[in-house]
Amino acid sequence: MWTDCSNNPKSIRSPEYAVSGKRNSLENGSILFLRELARRSVPVAVMGIMLTASLFFDSTATAFPTDVGGSWNGSVPCSSPAIVRISDITNNTTGSSSFANSPFSPGITENPYVSGSQGAKRWLTPGATPPGWHSPGPSCSITNSMGQTIASFVEIDGVGRGPWNYGDCRTKFDPVNGGSPLPPGHWCDSYGNLFDPVTVPNYSTSCVSPMDPTCYGRIHVEFDGDWLAAGYCGSGVCDNNTLVQDTVAKSASTLIDVQGFVFWDPDHVNDTFHSFSGWELHPLTAWRMHQVAPPDFSIATSPTTMTISAGSSGTSTVTLTGLNGFTGGLDLTATVESGGLISLSPPSASLNPTTMTVSSGGTGTSTLTVSTSLLTTPGTYTVTVTAKSGTLSHSATVTVTVTLNLGLLP
C-alpha cells in the first residue's frame, strides 16, 4: 500500500520543548514600571490599578470563526475547529520568533510526556487504540503561552499543496500509543507543505530565506504513520493517496480545505523544506476539495439605533458588500413597524439611492432617513431595510425611539 521511503529519510524529532522566559520578562518589566511610578510619587491607588493591568492577561485569545460541522474525521472528537489562515499560526514570522509570538504556542503537547515518544504529533485520539495507548489523546484546545485558551484543532480553507513525500518509516507504534508492533505493511508519515495562494503567489520561488515573507503563508503538514496504521487515516476524508492524485503540486488550480492539530517541531526550525518554522499540522486529520461558497451579499446599518423627537428626523447609513464573487444590482426598500403603537402620523422611511450595483469585495451605501411629525406618537419603532437581487434577499433593522418634542410644552 505504501511507497518505499528508504530513499526519503526524515530525521527523528525530539519531544516538544516548553515555553520559557515570558513570565519573567513580564514580571521584571512590571517591577521596573512600579519603581518608576513610585519615583514620580504617583498615588498608591493608581499604581495598584496599573500594576494589576500589566500583570494579568485576558484569558480569551483572539476569536476565530469555527466550523459548526465539527470534525470531518469521525476519529477526532473535536466539535468546534477554529477556521484560521496559515499566517495566523506563523504570526507572520519565522524561526523561534514564530514560536514565541504565535497565539497557538506551544501547540499540542503530551502531559505528562511519555518517555521515548516523539511528541503529541503521533498521539491517537480515543477509539480503536492499540494496546498500551496513553489516555486522553491530543486536546481540542490548549492554554497558550500567554495564558489564553485557544483551539489546537484547526481548519484551514483554500490552500494549495507543495510536493509530497514519505518519511519516518517504522515498525512500532510510538510509545505514547503503547509501542506495540504495527500491523503488517509499510507504515510511514505522508507529508508535504501547504501554502496560502494569497501570500504565496508562486510556490516554486517562495520562502528562499527566513526573511522571505512568503514563508509566513506556508506550513508543513503530515498524515501520521501511527494514524495510518491504526486506521484513523488512509481512506475517506483522511486519504493521503487521493490527496496527491486529485491535486496539482505547487498550483493554486486545485485548492483544498484541511483539518488537523497544531504542533511545534523544534528540530526543523531552520530547514528550508519546513519553511524556516517549526509549525506543523500534525496529525493532519482530514482534507477535502475547497468548498466555495455561492455568490452572496451582506447588509448592515450604522447606527442601528436612533432617538429623535417628534417633528424631526434622523439618518442611518446602509452598507451592502458583495461576497464570494457576487456582482449585480440590488433593490432597496424600507418598512416601518409600530409595535402596537397607535399614531395619527407614524414615522416614514426613505432610502437614497434605492438601487445600486456592487461587485465581489466591493461595497455600496445608501442613506436611510426616518422622518416624524408633531403628531407621531412617542415610543419605539422598528425600521427594516431589505435588499434584493433575484432570489437573494437580506435585511437589517434600525430601532427608532421617538420622544416628546419638549419645545411644544408651555
Rounded to whole angstroms, how far apart are CA atoms 299 and 330?
11
Mean pLDDT of 143-169: 96
Does the pLDDT of residue 344 top 70, yes or no?
yes
Rounded to whole angstroms, how far apart are CA atoms 121 and 189?
11
Coil/strand/helix, residue 265: coil
Residue 361 pLDDT level (bands cut at 50, 70, 90): confident
- pLDDT tens sequence across 35-84: 343 344 333 333 333 333 333 334 455 678 899 899 999 999 999 999 99
Rounded to whole angstroms, how far apart are CA atoms 70 and 150?
16
Q: How far is CA 393 from the centre of its chain?
A: 28
Mean pLDDT of 350-362: 92
Does the pLDDT of residue 347 top 60, yes or no?
yes
Q: Which residue has the higher pLDDT, 51 or 138?
A: 138
Contact of 276 with 94, CB cutoff 8 Å: yes
Mean pLDDT of 2-16: 35
Contact of 387 with 397, CB cutoff 8 Å: no
Does the pLDDT of residue 236 top 50, yes or no?
yes
Does the pLDDT of residue 149 top 80, yes or no?
yes
Superfamily of domain 296-403, CATH level 4: Immunoglobulins (2.60.40.10)
pLDDT of residue 62: 60
pLDDT of residue 24: 35
| Residue 289: how many other CB atoms lie within 10 Å | 12
Q: Where in the chain is the domain with CATH 2.60.40.10?
A: 296-403
Rounded to whole angstroms, how far apart are CA atoms 384 and 387?
10
268: nearest Cα among 158, 148, 152, 167: 167
| Residue 111: how many other CB atoms lie within 10 Å | 10
Q: Which residue has the higher pLDDT, 288 or 24?
A: 288
Tell me what percent of the residues of the chain surpass a pLDDT of 90. 75
pLDDT of residue 34: 34
pLDDT of residue 51: 32
Coil/strand/helix, residue 357: strand
- pLDDT tens sequence across 93-136: 999 999 999 999 999 999 899 999 999 999 999 999 999 999 99
pLDDT of residue 308: 96
181: CB partners within 8 A, 6+ apart: 171, 172, 173
Work out the mean pLDDT of the chain and round it to a whole number: 86
Residue 339 pLDDT level (bands cut at 50, 70, 90): confident
pLDDT of residue 359: 84
- pLDDT tens sequence across 211-227: 999 999 999 999 999 99
- pLDDT tens sequence across 256-306: 999 999 999 999 999 999 999 999 999 999 999 998 778 889 999 999 999
180: CB partners within 8 A, 6+ apart: 130, 131, 132, 172, 173
pLDDT of residue 19: 33
